């Protein structure tokens, strides 16, 4: 019997070619560095503060009763157009004034005060270019006509670290013992129908003025606290007045009250952060 030699069997299935090497994955994009993030954040803040809204605080009582020392508000930057004075630090990036719009009588405007043009002031717009403004016996006159001025209830504001009575005669004690400043208050109505309250404490030399004629591209501005405001009735001299203000100096228009404090908060006593807040003033619009 013949022995058969076993034959090696060959797998007939085709041999698979080695898989092609996959292209190397692109390295994941690195996140922006912290420095780049800070630059972007600064740019966003600068654009927001330059062209949209900017915060301002009230450091005096010249705009009582509407604005109180310790108020923090937002000013809209676009209503009056833009100039270098509406830019942070008055950066000279805008020649003249662009997208200019005329303020309305009664607006509460923030502006750079002459003569230095480097300090923010806030006053009410009273006279526009061509208007004739005069005070006679404590009553405002515009273009020869007396602006209606009606006596209303006295304005009262609590004595606090941010509020001291102008003179001792205006400080009174309430039945509970709290001290308040009580001031004579009047309702004034401009020819365009805008009404607001003003304080008129007593007769002063600046209750009677000559006629001021507002030049082109300028504004006549006054504080609502008529006997405690260095405004357009006074010449543009440092710490003495602002004169008639160029519209180029406009920064923005008061829009909404963000916060208000009577100044009694203590950083080391957290509960005073809440008791010092004037909650009823927050959120008010102008």
Per-residue pLDDT of the chain (286 residues; tens, 9 = 90+): 444 444 344 344 444 445 455 555 555 445 568 888 888 888 887 787 778 889 999 999 999 999 999 999 999 999 999 888 888 878 888 888 888 899 999 999 999 999 989 899 999 999 999 999 999 999 999 999 999 999 999 999 999 999 999 999 999 999 988 999 999 999 999 999 999 999 999 999 999 999 999 999 999 999 999 999 999 999 999 888 999 999 999 999 999 999 999 999 999 999 999 999 999 999 999 9
Q: Which of 142, 152, 228 is nearest to 184 (CA)?
A: 152
Q: Which of 188, 235, 229 is nearest to 210 (CA)?
A: 235
Check 62, 86, 229, 232 and give the catalytic one: 62
d(CA 10, CA 4): 18
d(CA 80, CA 89): 18
Check 83, 86, 123, 229 and give the catalytic one: 123
Specify the CATH superfamily of domain 46-281: Umud Fragment, subunit A (2.10.109.10)
Q: Is 229 a catalytic residue?
A: no
Q: Is 62 a catalytic residue?
A: yes
Whole-prediction pTM value?
A: 0.83
d(CA 2, CA 173): 136
Q: Which two tokens stand for residue 82?
A: 């833009």
d(CA 190, CA 193): 5
Strand partners, 213: 132
């Amino acid at each position: 019997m013949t022995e058969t030699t076993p034959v090696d069997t060959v797998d007939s299935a085709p041999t698979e070619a080695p898989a092609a090497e996959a292209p190397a994955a692109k390295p994941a994009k690195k996140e922006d560095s912290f420095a780049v993030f800070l630059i972007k954040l600064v740019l966003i803040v600068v654009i927001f503060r330059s062209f949209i809204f900017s915060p301002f605080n009230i450091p005096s009582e010249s705009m009582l009763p509407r604005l109180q020392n310790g108020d923090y508000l937002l000013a809209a930057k676009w209503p009056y157009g833009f100039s270098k004075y509406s830019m942070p630090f008055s950066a000279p990036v805008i020649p003249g004034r662009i997208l200019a719009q005329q303020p309305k009588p009664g607006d509460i405007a923030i502006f750079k005060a002459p003569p230095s043009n480097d300090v923010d002031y806030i006053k009410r717009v009273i006279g526009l270019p061509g208007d004739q403004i005069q005070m006679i016996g404590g009553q405002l006159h515009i273009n020869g006509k007396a602006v209606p001025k009606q006596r209303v209830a006295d304005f009262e504001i609590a004595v606090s670290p941010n509020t001291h009575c102008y003179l001792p005669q205006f400080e009174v004690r309430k039945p509970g013992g709290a001290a308040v400043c009580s001031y004579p208050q009047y309702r004034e109505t401009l020819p365009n129908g805008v009404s607001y309250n003003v304080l008129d404490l007593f007769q002063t030399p600046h209750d009677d003025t000559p006629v001021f004629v507002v030049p082109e591209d300028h504004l006549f501005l006054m504080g609502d606290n008529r006997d405690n405001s260095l405004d357009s009735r006074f010449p543009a001299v440092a710490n003495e007045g602002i004169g008639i203000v160029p519209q180029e100096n406009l920064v923005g228009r008061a829009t909404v009250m963000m916060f208000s404090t009577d100044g009694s908060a203590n950083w080391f006593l957290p509960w005073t952060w809440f008791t010092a807040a004037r909650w009823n003033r927050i959120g008010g619009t102008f």
